[in-house]
Every structure is written in structure tokens, then in C-alpha cells.
Amino acid sequence: MDAVTYPNEKVIEFINNNMIPVRLPADAKPWSEDFNVNWTPTIITLGADGREHHRTLGFLAPEELIPSLMLGIAKIYFDAGQFEESLKGLAALLVEYPKSDAVPEAIYLQGVNRYKNTHEAGPLKAAYERLLAEHASSEWTKKAYPYRLL
């Protein structure tokens, strides 16, 4: 990641504008133990409270790292019950990185956000239908499978 992803201008700009980066060696105790880091690179998105909201393991190219970080930020908002903010972040991810591997999870989380915000089941079913149409073999389509019955 040092040779390709981290020096990328878009990655630098995104991180500088949206995050407080902290880089530690994988064997830096007690943090490696506290956060169960056993391999590098491991990127953990933490909220202001220090809780983990998203994790990636292994190399990601710039065009995959940014949407993964965007997903992590959206999860922070989701976990805080700030569904509108989460939805804004997910919408940006889907528009800016429509071919990213993070898209199926973003679609799933979009449906869950909308459900949590409105308590109407329609968004869950819509998320499943979109996943089935656009990402049929995704694990997120399988996770959304029960929503087809709504």
C-alpha cells in the first residue's frame, strides 16, 4: 500500500479531509491486541469514541480504499442512529465509485438505514431486489435474501 495506494493524491486528499489517520506497526502492543490486528495492512475505522465500525484486511488499490473508508464513515453515522448522514455518505459512495467492491454492502446498508429511519419494510425489499439485479452472487444479496418476502 505504501508504493501504490497511500501516495495516491485522491487517497491523501480524502484521508486529510475526512479522517484522523494513525499508523502503527502490526505488532504495536497493546493496540494490536486490543484491536485484534494479526496481519498487515489492517485498516480500522474508529468513531470518536474509539469503537470499531469498519475493518479492511489486505491490500486495496486507491479506487477501492476510498469507498471502503466511505463505507466506514457511513457505518459510524449508522451506529450513532444518524441515518440521514449515513445515507448521504452511502449515496456519495454509490455515485462516485459505482464499480467498487464496497457497493453491495452500501446498497444493503442503504436499505437498512431507510428501514431504521422510517420503520417501513419497503426499503429492505428494494435493497434486496437491487442487489439481486446488480450483484446476484454477492454475500450481501444472500444476507438480504429474507427481505424478498416483505
pLDDT tens for residues 58-75? 999 999 999 999 999 999
The pLDDT of residue 2 is 79
Q: How many CA atoms lie within 13 A of 18 on its CB side?
A: 19
Q: Tell the CATH topology of 9-149.
A: 1.25.40
Burial (Cβ within 10 Å: 0-12, 13-18, ≥19) of residue 68: buried
Rounded CA-CA distance 13/122 in Å is 37
Mean pLDDT of the 43-55 span? 95
Asked whether residue 6 carries a pLDDT value surpassing 80, the answer given is yes
Q: What is the pLDDT of residues 75-88, one digit of tens each?
A: 999 999 999 999 99
Among 146, 87, 91, residue whose Cα is nearest residue 121? 146
45: its cell numbers: 475505522
> Does the pLDDT value for residue 126 go beyond 90?
yes
pLDDT in tens, 12-40: 999 999 999 999 988 899 988 999 998 88
Instruction: Report angle CA 112, 67, 28 to the nearest 5 degrees.
Output: 105
1 pLDDT higher than 80 = no
The mean of the pLDDT values for the chain is: 95
Q: Tell me, what's the pLDDT at 135? A: 98
Q: What is the pLDDT of residue 3?
A: 82
